[in-house]
Amino acid sequence: MALFGNFLDALIFLISAVLRLAFWIVLIRVLMSWVSPDPANPLVRALYQVTDPILRPAQRLIPPIGGLDLSPIVVLLAIEFLRIFLVGSLQQLTHGM
């Protein structure tokens, strides 16, 4: 049973780390949009390639309001909700063992 508990601990860490990384990458993209970075920059292109699949579904569902794109806020909230819900649920599962 200890092996399964260790596996769940590693899974909890991995899920939390991936979701935190996604949160920060989306936040960096939002902050970069305020300064209009050079779209030819390879780092900017890589950032957009990574974040576009995360942001596009929310952008389709939530139209801009007065020219303001609120979809990143929804995505950031969804990422945090998932992190808290999944990590919390898995931690309760490991404590119940």
Residue 94 is predicted with a pLDDT of 79
Contacts of 5 (CB under 8 A, 6+ apart): 94, 97
- Give the residue among 55, 45, 1 at the shortest CA–CA distance from 23: 55
| Alpha helices, DSSP H, located in the chain | 2-33, 42-61, 71-95
N- to C-terminal Cα distance for the chain?
A: 8
How much is the average pLDDT of 52-64? 93
Residue 86 is predicted with a pLDDT of 92
Q: Mean pLDDT across the chain, nearest whole number?
A: 91
Domain definitions of the chain by residue range: 2-95
CB 13 within 8 A of CB 59: no
How much is the average pLDDT of 7-36? 94
Residue 97 is predicted with a pLDDT of 61
- Give the residue among 26, 24, 7 at the shortest CA–CA distance from 74: 26
| CA 95 to mean position of chain CA atoms | 26
